[in-house]
Amino acid sequence: MEIRLARRDEDKACNDFHNRIYGDNRTLEQWQWGYFLEAFQTDKIPFAVVEDKGKIVGTQAFIPIRLINKDGIFWTAKSEDTLVDPDYRGQKLFEKMYDLLFTYLDENDLHCIWGFTPATKSFIRLGFEIPGTISQLFMPFSNDAIIRAIRSQLPSPKSKPLSLLKRTSYKAATVAGRVVSCLKFSGIESKLKNKSNLDKINITITDTAPAQAGELCQAFIKKYGGITIYRDAAFIKWRLLDNPFIKSIIKTAHVDGELVGWIAYTHAPDGMGYVIDWIAAHKDDAIVHDTLLLLLKEAVTDMRQTGAVGLRFWKATTHPFDELASDIAKKSGFFHIKRGYTTVLYINENSDRKNQLSDYQNWFINRTFTQGCYG
- Give the residues lining the site for other proteins (CB under 8 A): 27, 205, 207, 246-249, 266-267, 269, 271, 302, 304-307
Q: Of 76 and 266, which CB lies nearer to other proteins in the complex structure?
A: 266
- Rounded to a whole number of angstroms, the minimum distance from the CB of residue 209 to other proteins is 14
| CB nearer other proteins, residue 254 or residue 267 | 267
Cα separations (Å) of 88 from 1, 42, 52, 120, 125? 11, 30, 10, 19, 19
What is the C-alpha to C-alpha distance for residues 174 and 66, in angstroms, rounded to an integer?
A: 39
Instruction: HSE, CB side, 13 Å, CA atoms: give it for residue 310.
Output: 27
Q: Based on CB atoms, which residue is closest to other proteins, 248 or 370?
A: 248
Alpha-carbon Rg for the chain, nearest whole angstrom, is 21
Nearer to other proteins, 66 or 167 (CB): 167
Based on CB atoms, which residue is closest to other proteins, 81 or 302? 302
Q: Least CB distance from residue 265 to other proteins, whole Å?
A: 9
* Kind of pairing between the strands at 258-267 and 249-255: antiparallel
* Beta carbon nearer to other proteins, 214 or 271: 271
The β-bridge relationship of strands 129-133 and 112-117 is unpaired
Q: How far is the CB of 341 from other proteins (least distance, A)?
A: 24
Q: In the complex, what is the shortest distance from the CB of residue 17 to other proteins, in angstroms, rounded to a whole number?
A: 20
Distant-in-sequence, close-in-space partners of 204: CB < 8 Å, separation ≥ 6? 251, 252, 254
Per-residue H/E/C for 74-91 = EEEEEEEEEEECHHHCCC
Q: What are the angstrom distances between the C-alpha of 48 and each of 9, 132, 183, 187, 374? A: 14, 26, 51, 52, 24
Closest approach of other proteins to the CB of residue 260, in Å: 22
Secondary structure (DSSP) of 208-251: S--TTHHHHHHHHHHHH-SBEE---HHHHIIIIIS-SS-PPEEE
Shortest distance, CB of residue 247 to other proteins, whole angstroms?
Answer: 6
CB of 130 to other proteins, least distance (A): 34
Nearer to other proteins, 220 or 313 (CB): 313
Between 66 and 304, CB nearer to other proteins: 304
Asked whether the beta carbons of 355 and 365 are under 8 A apart, the reply is no
CB of 303 to other proteins, least distance (A): 8
CA angle 27, 31, 37 (to 5 degrees): 145
Contact criterion met (CB below 8 Å) for 328 and 313: no
CB of 44 to other proteins, least distance (A): 30
Hey, what's the torsion of the CAs at 91, 93, 96, 100, to 10 degrees? 170
For residue 262, how many other CB atoms are within 10 A of its CB? Answer: 28
Q: Measured from the CB atom, is 94 or 265 closer to other proteins?
A: 265
Q: SS3 letters for 296-339?
A: HHHHHHHHHHHCCCEEEEEECCCCHHHHHHHHHHHHCCCEEECC
